[in-house]
Structure 1
Amino acid sequence: MTIKAKPFIKWVAGKTQLIDSIENTLPKDFRSQQNLTYIEPFVGGGAILFWILQKYPNIKRAVINDINPDLTTAYKTIKENPKELIMELRSIQEEYLPLTEEKQKEYFLEKRVRFNTKSLNPLENSALFIFLNRTCFNGLYRVNSKGLFNVPFGKYANPKICDEPIILADSELLQKVEILTGDFESTIKYVGENCFFYFDPPYKPLSETSSFNSYSKEEFNDKEQIRLGNFCRQIDILGHSFMLSNSDVKGKNPHDNFFDDLYNQFNIKRVYATRIVNATKKYLGVPLSGRAFRSNLLLVPHKRISTSIPNAKLAS
């Protein structure tokens, strides 16, 4: 099978390297289920979304959500106006690439200021969102407490700002996808008779300096993780399947039972994924390394045991 559609942006903690583990953990009858609805409340870069919609044609409908309005606006623009977006990105690319590095930095900063005005139409906002993602430091998306994008210039020699084939392929696939912007719990309104949820929330950091979850000005802390755990139990009570991925805090501290307690009614499968960060110093308080390292992740496949909701404890 040739997969043409794939993420149109770079996204920290993307799940491309977890696809095999996710596929092996899906319900055995997943492919044979009829009229399946796929729901992803934290869509992010969409690696799992684009893969699963192409791999499993029995998914007739999909619902995606993210709290980041710039991200969901980009998804909507690709779905509804791909050719216009390509024209905008091509124009930016033709202006940007011939410039010297110094002039490219100036151009980047000017576009970042314009993007942060929060007054652009959806087409321009999406084009600048993709441009900044392709040219900023390490492809990060971070905002400050005011919700303003604050990642610096990335010094790439020849970034691919306009990826026309990917945008067109993604647009075709997104035609059966409903795109929401808001809290993950809002997706409950869109459940059908047969739904499968995949949750990929901002990961619980393994240390005070390892968090990459500032994708929005709202913090996703332990209380939010617990709220998500309770939502997963609600999904289970309704009879729907789900899978969830997160950091494995036990890999850092064997005595940290945060997720084992929170999801003690479900099977927990621990898997390894190699993650590479292309940098050699600290940035925004986050230690970065040019080497590949193994991040111990966990998946929580669906297994109905009980309908009670335990009182999870906050990790100290």
Structure 2
Amino acid sequence: MITMNSNIRPFLKWAGGKTQLLDEIIKELPVDIKQYRRYVEPFVGAGAVFFYFLENNYFEEYIINDINSKLINLYKVIRDKPEDLIVEIQGLKTKYLELDTKERKKLFYEIRTNFNNNCSSIKLASYFIFLNKTCFNGLYRENSKGNFNVPFGKYKNPSFFDEIQLRKISRLLNLKNSNGGFKIKILNKDFSELKEYIDANTFVYCDPPYRPVTVGGFTSYNKSNFNDKSQILLRDFYKLMDAKGAKVMLSNSDPKNLDEKDTFFDELYSNFNIKKVYSKRNINSVGNRRGKITELLIINYKR
């Protein structure tokens, strides 16, 4: 197997982030993956898989999408105004680290309030990174009104950001195609609106909000709340992509971690190949429950 570069680290902490699962994902790619011209990722999140493909020049065209408009704003600001963003984050970092715990907490909630109200695109992007690195467990969660509501995380020395990494990511997002346009399209749509971008020359990787594997688990990634009905709608979208001839990989939780009799995904994707892979759960409110669990990779092809 050819060793590929994987120097870009995701710039966000992300529930269900795929950095640790990347080797398993690569193993399950179609053997003819390089023959596909376009890559589509309907739930880009922190982008670990996307950046791996981009850094290793797998495809001619990339379409990344997420329903989270504030996340998509962050991607666009990193692409278009990285230096302005770095200045903003550095200012927040310096201010935060000079404060004691009580004052840090006060600053956190002030920024969270500002984040949930109108502000410039650059401030919104800097607030996103600040909150991601200082909130509880790095979660992103919205209430029914669409407001970010994760509490303060009490970290002594959060990482905040890496200037070199942000500049590398900005350069990658600015790659141009043969026509002089962006090689990467950055969209803010519901996954169901991506049909027009998918055909038999497309590889699609879907990493939706996971079905909870703990009682009372996390699903409120955005105000729409990605529940079982949403998972079924995604299955319908998966079938549509399959009918179009696209190669599709989808990751999700394994319900059997919680209940061995739970066959939700077995039934939902009974016509496709379901593979179990091991992952270490990094985001859990109970520290001693952060350990290896199985996750699912669902593919519509034979390698």
CA distance in 1, matches of 2:234, 2:287: 31
Question: What's the counterpart of residue 312 of structure 1?
Answer: none
Match of 1:202 among 204, 209, 213: 209
Q: Provide Cα deviations, 1:16-59, integer angstroms capped at 9, x if missing partner.
A: 1111111111001113x15x21100011111111122223x131
Is it true that 1:97 corresponds to 2:97 in the alignment?
yes
Moved more, 233-242 or 1-10: 1-10
Question: What's the counterpart of residue 195 of structure 2?
Answer: 188
Instruction: Output the aligned Cα RMSD.
Output: 1.7
CA distance in 1, matches of 2:288, 2:169: 30
- Contact preservation (8 Å) 1:276, 1:291: no
CA distance in 2, matches of 1:143, 1:290: 26
CA distance in 1, matches of 2:21, 2:93: 32
- Contact preservation (8 Å) 2:199, 2:244: no
TM-score by length of 1: 0.87
CA distance in 2, matches of 1:17, 1:125: 28
Match of 2:22 among 1, 19, 22: 19
**Letter of the structure 1 residue corresponding to residue 29 of structure 2:** L
**Letter of the structure 1 residue corresponding to residue 112 of structure 2:** R
Give the drift of 1:171. 1.0
Is it true that 1:271 corresponds to 2:277 in the alignment?
yes
Question: What's the counterpart of residue 161 of structure 1?
Answer: 160
Give the drift of 1:291. 5.0
From the superposition, tell whether residues 27 and 62 of structure 1 become closer, same or farther in structure 2 (CA, over 3 Å): same
Question: What's the counterpart of residue 44 of structure 1?
Answer: 45
Identity of aligned residues (%): 45
CA distance in 1, matches of 2:38, 2:215: 37
Give the drift of 1:303. 2.6
Match of 1:241 among 229, 247, 267: 247
CA distance in 2, matches of 1:174, 1:183: 21
- Contact preservation (8 Å) 1:4, 1:169: no
- Contact preservation (8 Å) 1:79, 1:170: yes
1:86-235 matches, cutoff 5 A: 86-117=86-117, 119-175=118-174, 176-191=183-198, 194-210=201-217, 212-235=218-241
**Letter of the structure 1 residue corresponding to residue 297 of structure 2:** L
Runs (4 or more) in structure 1 with deviation over 4 Å come to: none
Instruction: Extract unaligned runs of 5+ from structure 1.
Output: 280-286, 305-316
Give the drift of 1:253. 2.6
CA distance in 1, matches of 2:288, 2:33: 38
Count the aligned residue pairs.
291
1:254-269 matches, cutoff 5 A: 254-269=260-275
**Letter of the structure 2 residue corresponding to residue 54 of structure 1:** E
Match of 1:288 among 281, 286, 289: 286
CA distance in 1, matches of 2:279, 2:213: 15
CA distance in 2, matches of 1:152, 1:30: 42
Give the drift of 1:116. 1.3
From the superposition, tell whether residues 98 and 2 of structure 1 become closer, same or farther in structure 2 (CA, over 3 Å): farther
**Letter of the structure 1 residue corresponding to residue 165 of structure 2:** I
From the superposition, tell whether residues 275 and 206 of structure 1 become closer, same or farther in structure 2 (CA, over 3 Å): closer
TM-score by length of 2: 0.91
From the superposition, tell whether residues 276 and 161 of structure 1 become closer, same or farther in structure 2 (CA, over 3 Å): closer
